[in-house]
Amino acid sequence: MPSCLLPSGRDFPVVTVVKSSAIRRKEHSVNIPLAKPVFTKEMEKAAVNAFWNEHFVLGESVFKFEEEFARYCGVDYAVSMSSGTDALYIALVALGVSHQDQVVTTPASFVATSNVILHANAVPKFADIELTTYTIDPRKVLRVVNNKTRAIIPVHIYGYPADMDSINEISNKKGLYVVEDACQAHGALYKNRKVGSLGDVACFSFYPSKNMTVAGDGGMLVTNDERLATVAAKLRDCGRKSKYVHDMIGYTARLNTVNAAVGRVQLRYLDEWNEKRRRNAETYDRLLSDVPELILPPEGDEETRPVYHLYTVRTKKREELKTWLESNGIQCGVNYTLPIHLQPVYRELFGFKKGMLPRSEELCETCLSIPMYPELAGREIRQVSGKIHEFFKDR
Ligand SMILES: Cc1ncc(COP(=O)(O)O)c(C=O)c1O
Protein backbone atom coordinates (compact mmCIF):
# COMPACT_ATOMS: atom_id res chain seq x y z
CA MET A 1 0.00 0.00 0.00
CA PRO A 2 1.48 3.38 -0.98
CA SER A 3 2.00 5.79 1.84
CA CYS A 4 3.31 9.30 2.39
CA LEU A 5 4.91 10.79 5.43
CA LEU A 6 2.88 13.33 7.43
CA PRO A 7 4.81 16.27 8.97
CA SER A 8 4.37 14.51 12.31
CA GLY A 9 6.30 11.57 10.90
CA ARG A 10 3.26 9.28 11.03
CA ASP A 11 2.64 7.03 8.06
CA PHE A 12 -0.50 8.02 6.17
CA PRO A 13 -2.10 5.25 4.13
CA VAL A 14 -3.16 7.20 1.05
CA VAL A 15 -5.24 4.57 -0.71
CA THR A 16 -7.30 3.63 2.32
CA VAL A 17 -8.12 7.25 3.11
CA VAL A 18 -9.19 8.08 -0.43
CA LYS A 19 -11.41 5.01 -0.53
CA SER A 20 -13.07 5.47 2.84
CA SER A 21 -13.74 9.20 2.36
CA ALA A 22 -15.45 8.37 -0.95
CA ILE A 23 -17.63 5.86 0.85
CA ARG A 24 -18.36 8.27 3.70
CA ARG A 25 -19.57 10.93 1.25
CA LYS A 26 -21.62 8.38 -0.70
CA GLU A 27 -20.08 9.46 -3.98
CA HIS A 28 -21.76 8.30 -7.14
CA SER A 29 -20.04 8.08 -10.47
CA VAL A 30 -20.91 11.13 -12.53
CA ASN A 31 -22.13 10.64 -16.09
CA ILE A 32 -23.40 14.17 -16.63
CA PRO A 33 -21.49 16.85 -14.69
CA LEU A 34 -23.04 20.08 -13.46
CA ALA A 35 -20.58 22.26 -15.37
CA LYS A 36 -17.83 21.65 -17.89
CA PRO A 37 -15.43 24.33 -19.08
CA VAL A 38 -14.24 24.11 -22.67
CA PHE A 39 -10.51 23.80 -23.25
CA THR A 40 -8.99 23.45 -26.70
CA LYS A 41 -5.57 23.06 -28.28
CA GLU A 42 -5.83 26.73 -29.29
CA MET A 43 -6.04 27.72 -25.62
CA GLU A 44 -3.18 25.42 -24.69
CA LYS A 45 -1.09 26.92 -27.48
CA ALA A 46 -1.83 30.46 -26.30
CA ALA A 47 -0.86 29.52 -22.73
CA VAL A 48 2.38 27.83 -23.83
CA ASN A 49 3.25 30.76 -26.07
CA ALA A 50 2.74 33.24 -23.21
CA PHE A 51 4.73 30.97 -20.89
CA TRP A 52 7.82 31.01 -23.12
CA ASN A 53 7.62 34.49 -24.62
CA GLU A 54 6.12 36.92 -22.10
CA HIS A 55 6.70 38.18 -18.57
CA PHE A 56 4.81 35.93 -16.16
CA VAL A 57 3.42 39.00 -14.40
CA LEU A 58 1.80 41.89 -16.31
CA GLY A 59 2.91 40.50 -19.66
CA GLU A 60 1.48 41.63 -23.00
CA SER A 61 -1.45 39.17 -22.86
CA VAL A 62 -2.74 40.81 -19.69
CA PHE A 63 -3.13 44.20 -21.36
CA LYS A 64 -4.53 42.75 -24.58
CA PHE A 65 -7.08 40.74 -22.59
CA GLU A 66 -8.11 43.92 -20.75
CA GLU A 67 -8.53 45.86 -24.00
CA GLU A 68 -10.57 43.08 -25.58
CA PHE A 69 -12.73 42.52 -22.50
CA ALA A 70 -13.50 46.26 -22.23
CA ARG A 71 -14.50 46.32 -25.90
CA TYR A 72 -16.66 43.23 -25.40
CA CYS A 73 -18.55 44.85 -22.51
CA GLY A 74 -18.85 48.17 -24.31
CA VAL A 75 -16.89 50.13 -21.70
CA ASP A 76 -13.72 52.22 -21.83
CA TYR A 77 -11.57 50.44 -19.25
CA ALA A 78 -10.96 46.95 -17.93
CA VAL A 79 -8.50 46.08 -15.17
CA SER A 80 -7.74 42.40 -14.66
CA MET A 81 -7.49 40.95 -11.16
CA SER A 82 -6.55 37.70 -9.49
CA SER A 83 -10.21 36.85 -8.75
CA GLY A 84 -13.75 38.18 -8.87
CA THR A 85 -13.56 38.75 -5.12
CA ASP A 86 -10.48 40.96 -5.53
CA ALA A 87 -12.20 42.87 -8.33
CA LEU A 88 -15.21 43.57 -6.07
CA TYR A 89 -13.05 44.52 -3.11
CA ILE A 90 -10.80 46.81 -5.11
CA ALA A 91 -13.86 48.41 -6.75
CA LEU A 92 -15.17 49.36 -3.30
CA VAL A 93 -11.81 50.65 -2.11
CA ALA A 94 -11.30 52.65 -5.33
CA LEU A 95 -14.75 54.20 -4.87
CA GLY A 96 -13.69 55.31 -1.40
CA VAL A 97 -16.08 53.02 0.51
CA SER A 98 -14.74 52.74 4.04
CA HIS A 99 -15.39 52.80 7.76
CA GLN A 100 -18.98 53.59 8.82
CA ASP A 101 -20.29 53.35 5.25
CA GLN A 102 -23.07 50.96 4.40
CA VAL A 103 -23.40 48.98 1.19
CA VAL A 104 -26.67 47.36 0.12
CA THR A 105 -26.65 43.97 -1.54
CA THR A 106 -28.61 40.74 -1.84
CA PRO A 107 -28.24 37.77 0.50
CA ALA A 108 -28.94 35.41 -2.42
CA SER A 109 -25.40 35.29 -3.73
CA PHE A 110 -22.01 33.76 -3.19
CA VAL A 111 -20.67 34.92 0.15
CA ALA A 112 -17.83 36.93 -1.47
CA THR A 113 -20.35 39.57 -2.63
CA SER A 114 -20.86 40.58 0.96
CA ASN A 115 -17.46 39.65 2.42
CA VAL A 116 -15.80 42.36 0.33
CA ILE A 117 -17.98 44.99 2.02
CA LEU A 118 -16.62 43.88 5.38
CA HIS A 119 -13.07 43.71 4.00
CA ALA A 120 -13.52 47.37 3.04
CA ASN A 121 -14.50 48.08 6.69
CA ALA A 122 -18.06 48.92 5.69
CA VAL A 123 -21.32 47.29 6.79
CA PRO A 124 -23.43 45.07 4.50
CA LYS A 125 -27.17 45.79 4.45
CA PHE A 126 -29.30 43.14 2.84
CA ALA A 127 -32.33 43.73 0.64
CA ASP A 128 -34.43 40.70 -0.23
CA ILE A 129 -34.87 39.38 -3.78
CA GLU A 130 -37.80 39.12 -6.17
CA LEU A 131 -38.74 35.47 -6.50
CA THR A 132 -39.56 35.92 -10.18
CA THR A 133 -35.95 36.79 -11.07
CA TYR A 134 -33.91 35.88 -7.94
CA THR A 135 -32.27 39.31 -8.19
CA ILE A 136 -32.38 42.17 -5.67
CA ASP A 137 -35.80 43.81 -5.24
CA PRO A 138 -35.45 47.58 -5.77
CA ARG A 139 -38.40 48.27 -3.43
CA LYS A 140 -36.55 46.43 -0.68
CA VAL A 141 -33.38 48.38 -1.49
CA LEU A 142 -35.28 51.61 -0.80
CA ARG A 143 -36.22 50.32 2.65
CA VAL A 144 -32.61 49.87 3.77
CA VAL A 145 -30.99 52.91 2.14
CA ASN A 146 -30.14 55.67 4.64
CA ASN A 147 -27.66 58.53 4.93
CA LYS A 148 -24.79 56.12 5.59
CA THR A 149 -25.35 54.14 2.39
CA ARG A 150 -22.62 54.63 -0.19
CA ALA A 151 -23.22 51.92 -2.76
CA ILE A 152 -25.51 49.17 -4.05
CA ILE A 153 -24.20 45.83 -5.34
CA PRO A 154 -26.86 44.17 -7.51
CA VAL A 155 -25.93 40.61 -8.47
CA HIS A 156 -26.85 39.17 -11.87
CA ILE A 157 -27.37 35.82 -10.20
CA TYR A 158 -27.26 32.62 -12.28
CA GLY A 159 -26.61 34.87 -15.31
CA TYR A 160 -29.91 36.79 -15.08
CA PRO A 161 -29.55 40.61 -15.18
CA ALA A 162 -30.92 42.51 -12.20
CA ASP A 163 -33.50 45.29 -12.66
CA MET A 164 -30.82 47.88 -13.44
CA ASP A 165 -33.15 50.75 -14.45
CA SER A 166 -34.77 50.75 -11.02
CA ILE A 167 -31.42 50.33 -9.25
CA ASN A 168 -29.89 53.20 -11.21
CA GLU A 169 -32.94 55.37 -10.52
CA ILE A 170 -32.48 54.83 -6.78
CA SER A 171 -28.73 55.44 -6.98
CA ASN A 172 -29.23 58.66 -8.95
CA LYS A 173 -31.82 59.96 -6.49
CA LYS A 174 -29.79 59.05 -3.41
CA GLY A 175 -26.29 59.74 -4.77
CA LEU A 176 -25.04 56.14 -4.47
CA TYR A 177 -22.53 54.16 -6.47
CA VAL A 178 -23.65 51.05 -8.32
CA VAL A 179 -21.22 48.12 -8.43
CA GLU A 180 -22.55 45.33 -10.63
CA ASP A 181 -21.60 41.86 -9.46
CA ALA A 182 -21.47 40.28 -12.90
CA CYS A 183 -19.38 37.31 -11.73
CA GLN A 184 -22.00 34.89 -13.09
CA ALA A 185 -23.18 36.84 -16.11
CA HIS A 186 -20.48 37.35 -18.76
CA GLY A 187 -22.25 38.49 -21.91
CA ALA A 188 -25.80 38.81 -20.50
CA LEU A 189 -27.81 41.63 -22.06
CA TYR A 190 -30.08 44.19 -20.47
CA LYS A 191 -31.93 46.49 -22.89
CA ASN A 192 -29.35 45.76 -25.60
CA ARG A 193 -26.43 46.60 -23.35
CA LYS A 194 -23.99 44.13 -21.89
CA VAL A 195 -23.96 43.71 -18.12
CA GLY A 196 -20.82 45.39 -16.91
CA SER A 197 -21.76 48.62 -18.65
CA LEU A 198 -24.82 49.41 -16.56
CA GLY A 199 -23.47 50.87 -13.31
CA ASP A 200 -20.41 52.84 -12.16
CA VAL A 201 -18.22 49.78 -12.11
CA ALA A 202 -18.69 46.03 -12.60
CA CYS A 203 -16.81 42.91 -11.62
CA PHE A 204 -16.44 39.52 -13.27
CA SER A 205 -15.00 36.20 -12.11
CA PHE A 206 -13.13 33.73 -14.29
CA TYR A 207 -13.32 30.85 -11.82
CA PRO A 208 -13.28 27.63 -13.91
CA SER A 209 -17.02 26.90 -13.69
CA LYS A 210 -18.01 30.35 -15.02
CA ASN A 211 -19.28 30.99 -18.56
CA MET A 212 -15.68 31.76 -19.49
CA THR A 213 -12.51 31.06 -17.54
CA VAL A 214 -8.79 31.72 -17.55
CA ALA A 215 -8.02 28.11 -16.52
CA GLY A 216 -7.67 29.10 -12.90
CA ASP A 217 -8.71 31.97 -10.65
CA GLY A 218 -9.07 35.38 -12.22
CA GLY A 219 -11.28 38.44 -12.36
CA MET A 220 -11.93 41.70 -14.18
CA LEU A 221 -13.10 45.14 -13.11
CA VAL A 222 -14.71 47.23 -15.85
CA THR A 223 -15.75 50.88 -15.86
CA ASN A 224 -16.10 54.02 -17.95
CA ASP A 225 -14.45 56.08 -15.22
CA GLU A 226 -10.79 56.75 -16.05
CA ARG A 227 -9.88 57.78 -12.49
CA LEU A 228 -11.43 54.66 -11.04
CA ALA A 229 -9.64 52.42 -13.55
CA THR A 230 -6.30 54.10 -12.82
CA VAL A 231 -6.72 53.72 -9.05
CA ALA A 232 -7.86 50.08 -9.44
CA ALA A 233 -4.86 49.25 -11.64
CA LYS A 234 -2.57 50.73 -9.01
CA LEU A 235 -4.28 49.00 -6.11
CA ARG A 236 -4.00 45.56 -7.74
CA ASP A 237 -0.28 46.13 -8.27
CA CYS A 238 1.01 46.98 -4.77
CA GLY A 239 -0.01 50.66 -5.07
CA ARG A 240 2.87 51.21 -7.49
CA LYS A 241 3.55 54.59 -9.03
CA SER A 242 6.71 53.20 -10.61
CA LYS A 243 8.74 50.06 -9.95
CA TYR A 244 9.81 50.84 -6.37
CA VAL A 245 7.78 53.95 -5.67
CA HIS A 246 4.37 53.42 -4.04
CA ASP A 247 1.88 56.22 -3.47
CA MET A 248 -1.00 54.01 -2.31
CA ILE A 249 -1.37 51.08 0.07
CA GLY A 250 -2.06 48.42 -2.53
CA TYR A 251 -2.43 44.67 -2.83
CA THR A 252 -0.99 41.87 -4.91
CA ALA A 253 -4.09 41.06 -6.94
CA ARG A 254 -2.84 40.76 -10.50
CA LEU A 255 -3.99 38.26 -13.11
CA ASN A 256 -1.11 36.06 -14.29
CA THR A 257 -0.06 36.37 -17.92
CA VAL A 258 -0.53 32.70 -18.84
CA ASN A 259 -4.10 32.86 -17.48
CA ALA A 260 -4.79 36.05 -19.44
CA ALA A 261 -3.60 34.34 -22.62
CA VAL A 262 -6.18 31.58 -22.08
CA GLY A 263 -8.85 34.18 -21.26
CA ARG A 264 -8.26 35.96 -24.58
CA VAL A 265 -9.08 32.81 -26.52
CA GLN A 266 -12.04 31.94 -24.27
CA LEU A 267 -13.52 35.41 -24.81
CA ARG A 268 -13.66 34.82 -28.57
CA TYR A 269 -16.01 31.86 -27.98
CA LEU A 270 -18.12 33.39 -25.24
CA ASP A 271 -21.06 34.51 -27.43
CA GLU A 272 -21.20 31.14 -29.18
CA TRP A 273 -21.14 29.31 -25.82
CA ASN A 274 -23.81 31.59 -24.36
CA GLU A 275 -26.04 30.92 -27.37
CA LYS A 276 -25.61 27.18 -26.76
CA ARG A 277 -26.47 27.64 -23.09
CA ARG A 278 -29.63 29.54 -24.12
CA ARG A 279 -30.60 26.76 -26.51
CA ASN A 280 -30.03 24.17 -23.80
CA ALA A 281 -32.19 26.20 -21.43
CA GLU A 282 -34.96 26.34 -24.04
CA THR A 283 -34.83 22.56 -24.34
CA TYR A 284 -35.02 22.12 -20.57
CA ASP A 285 -37.91 24.65 -20.45
CA ARG A 286 -39.80 22.69 -23.08
CA LEU A 287 -39.18 19.29 -21.52
CA LEU A 288 -39.85 20.31 -17.92
CA SER A 289 -42.73 22.78 -18.30
CA ASP A 290 -45.28 20.03 -17.61
CA VAL A 291 -43.90 19.16 -14.14
CA PRO A 292 -46.22 21.03 -11.76
CA GLU A 293 -43.95 20.50 -8.74
CA LEU A 294 -41.11 22.35 -10.44
CA ILE A 295 -40.56 26.10 -10.81
CA LEU A 296 -38.34 26.80 -13.82
CA PRO A 297 -35.80 29.65 -13.99
CA PRO A 298 -36.83 33.08 -15.34
CA GLU A 299 -36.76 32.98 -19.13
CA GLY A 300 -35.88 36.51 -20.01
CA ASP A 301 -37.43 38.41 -22.91
CA GLU A 302 -36.41 40.86 -25.63
CA GLU A 303 -35.03 43.28 -23.04
CA THR A 304 -33.40 40.81 -20.68
CA ARG A 305 -31.21 38.12 -22.22
CA PRO A 306 -29.80 35.84 -19.50
CA VAL A 307 -26.77 33.61 -20.11
CA TYR A 308 -27.71 30.66 -17.88
CA HIS A 309 -24.51 30.39 -15.90
CA LEU A 310 -26.71 27.96 -13.99
CA TYR A 311 -30.03 26.38 -14.81
CA THR A 312 -31.64 26.48 -11.40
CA VAL A 313 -35.06 24.97 -10.75
CA ARG A 314 -37.04 25.12 -7.53
CA THR A 315 -38.94 22.40 -5.73
CA LYS A 316 -40.06 21.64 -2.19
CA LYS A 317 -38.59 18.15 -2.72
CA ARG A 318 -35.12 19.50 -3.44
CA GLU A 319 -33.15 17.10 -1.25
CA GLU A 320 -34.92 13.97 -2.48
CA LEU A 321 -34.67 15.07 -6.12
CA LYS A 322 -30.96 15.82 -5.70
CA THR A 323 -30.30 12.41 -4.18
CA TRP A 324 -32.29 10.73 -6.93
CA LEU A 325 -30.50 12.52 -9.76
CA GLU A 326 -27.09 11.95 -8.23
CA SER A 327 -27.81 8.26 -7.75
CA ASN A 328 -28.44 8.24 -11.50
CA GLY A 329 -25.08 9.80 -12.33
CA ILE A 330 -26.43 13.34 -12.79
CA GLN A 331 -24.47 15.92 -10.85
CA CYS A 332 -26.45 18.71 -9.20
CA GLY A 333 -25.60 21.86 -7.26
CA VAL A 334 -27.29 23.91 -4.57
CA ASN A 335 -26.57 27.58 -5.17
CA TYR A 336 -26.73 28.28 -2.32
CA THR A 337 -27.53 26.13 0.70
CA LEU A 338 -27.75 29.24 2.89
CA PRO A 339 -28.43 32.88 2.07
CA ILE A 340 -25.53 35.05 3.19
CA HIS A 341 -27.31 36.50 6.24
CA LEU A 342 -27.79 32.97 7.63
CA GLN A 343 -24.16 31.91 7.19
CA PRO A 344 -22.85 31.10 10.68
CA VAL A 345 -20.33 33.94 10.66
CA TYR A 346 -22.97 36.52 9.63
CA ARG A 347 -25.42 35.29 12.27
CA GLU A 348 -22.68 35.60 14.84
CA LEU A 349 -21.51 39.03 13.72
CA PHE A 350 -24.88 40.68 13.11
CA GLY A 351 -27.46 38.54 14.90
CA PHE A 352 -29.35 37.72 11.69
CA LYS A 353 -32.16 35.20 12.13
CA LYS A 354 -34.26 33.00 9.91
CA GLY A 355 -37.35 34.84 8.68
CA MET A 356 -35.63 38.19 8.18
CA LEU A 357 -35.25 37.85 4.39
CA PRO A 358 -37.88 35.25 3.55
CA ARG A 359 -37.62 35.16 -0.23
CA SER A 360 -33.87 34.58 -0.26
CA GLU A 361 -34.39 31.91 2.38
CA GLU A 362 -37.09 30.27 0.28
CA LEU A 363 -34.80 30.26 -2.75
CA CYS A 364 -32.01 28.62 -0.77
CA GLU A 365 -34.37 26.01 0.68
CA THR A 366 -35.77 25.00 -2.69
CA CYS A 367 -33.16 25.64 -5.40
CA LEU A 368 -31.43 22.95 -7.38
CA SER A 369 -29.02 23.55 -10.25
CA ILE A 370 -29.04 20.85 -12.89
CA PRO A 371 -26.35 20.29 -15.55
CA MET A 372 -25.76 23.29 -17.80
CA TYR A 373 -22.82 23.95 -20.09
CA PRO A 374 -22.38 24.70 -23.80
CA GLU A 375 -21.41 21.18 -24.83
CA LEU A 376 -24.35 19.54 -23.02
CA ALA A 377 -25.94 17.31 -25.65
CA GLY A 378 -29.67 17.19 -26.42
CA ARG A 379 -29.64 13.51 -25.50
CA GLU A 380 -28.19 14.38 -22.07
CA ILE A 381 -30.82 17.07 -21.50
CA ARG A 382 -33.49 14.50 -22.36
CA GLN A 383 -31.88 12.04 -19.95
CA VAL A 384 -31.88 14.59 -17.08
CA SER A 385 -35.44 15.66 -17.85
CA GLY A 386 -36.55 12.03 -18.12
CA LYS A 387 -35.12 11.26 -14.69
CA ILE A 388 -36.89 14.32 -13.23
CA HIS A 389 -40.21 13.13 -14.71
CA GLU A 390 -39.59 9.66 -13.33
CA PHE A 391 -38.92 11.13 -9.87
CA PHE A 392 -42.17 13.08 -9.74
CA LYS A 393 -44.31 10.38 -11.35
CA ASP A 394 -44.90 8.45 -8.15
CA ARG A 395 -44.97 11.36 -5.72
C1 LIG B 1 -21.94 36.15 -7.61
C2 LIG B 1 -20.49 35.99 -7.33
N3 LIG B 1 -19.81 37.00 -6.77
C4 LIG B 1 -18.49 36.91 -6.52
C5 LIG B 1 -17.78 35.77 -6.80
C6 LIG B 1 -16.33 35.70 -6.47
O7 LIG B 1 -15.53 35.40 -7.57
P8 LIG B 1 -14.15 34.57 -7.38
O9 LIG B 1 -14.49 33.19 -7.03
O10 LIG B 1 -13.49 34.69 -8.72
O11 LIG B 1 -13.39 35.28 -6.32
C12 LIG B 1 -18.44 34.69 -7.40
C13 LIG B 1 -17.70 33.46 -7.75
O14 LIG B 1 -17.97 32.38 -7.40
C15 LIG B 1 -19.83 34.79 -7.65
O16 LIG B 1 -20.51 33.78 -8.19
The answer, yes or no, to whether any atom of ligand 1 lies below 6 A from the CB of 110, is: yes
Residues 6+ apart with CB under 8 A from 87: 79, 81, 203, 204, 205, 219, 220, 221
pLDDT at 30: 87
Question: Which amino acid is located at 239 in the chain?
Answer: G
Task: Tell me whether the omega of the peptide bond preceding residue 190 falls within 30 degrees of 0, making it cis.
Answer: no
The answer, yes or no, to whether any atom of ligand 1 lies below 6 A from the CB of 207, is: yes
The model's pLDDT over 181-219, given as tens digits with 9 standing for 90+, comes to 999 999 999 999 999 999 999 999 999 999 999 999 999
Rg over CA atoms, the chain: 22
Q: What number does the ligand 1 atom closest to the CA of 86 have?
A: 11
* Nearest CA, atom 14, ligand 1: 110
pLDDT at 26: 54
Burial class (CB in 10 A: 0-12, 13-18, 19+), 152: buried
pLDDT at 29: 85
- Return phi, psi of residue 345, to 5°: -70, -35
The answer, yes or no, to whether any atom of ligand 1 lies below 6 A from the CB of 343, is: no
Q: Say how many Å lie between the CA of residue 84 and the centre of ligand 1.
A: 5
Alpha helices in 80-215 (DSSP H): 84-95, 112-119, 138-144, 164-174
Residues 6+ apart with CB under 8 A from 89: 116, 119, 120
Segment holding 77, helix H or strand E: strand 77-81
* Nearest CA, atom 10, ligand 1: 84
Q: Say how many Å lie between the CA of residue 86 and the centre of ligand 1.
A: 9
Pocket test for ligand 1, best of 85, 129, 254, 335 (most atoms within 8 A of CB): 85
pLDDT at 27: 61
What residues in the chain have per-residue pLDDT under 70? 1-27
The answer, yes or no, to whether any atom of ligand 1 lies below 6 A from the CB of 155, is: yes
User: Taking Cα atoms as reference points, which of 286, 273, 232 lies closest to residue 255?
Assistant: 232
The answer, yes or no, to whether any atom of ligand 1 lies below 6 A from the CB of 84, is: yes
The model's pLDDT over 32-81, given as tens digits with 9 standing for 90+, comes to 999 999 999 999 999 999 999 999 999 999 999 999 999 999 999 999 99
Do 307 and 279 form a contact (C-beta atoms < 8 A)? no
pLDDT at 395: 78
Cα–Cα distance measured from residue 296 to residue 132, given in angstroms and rounded to the nearest whole number: 10
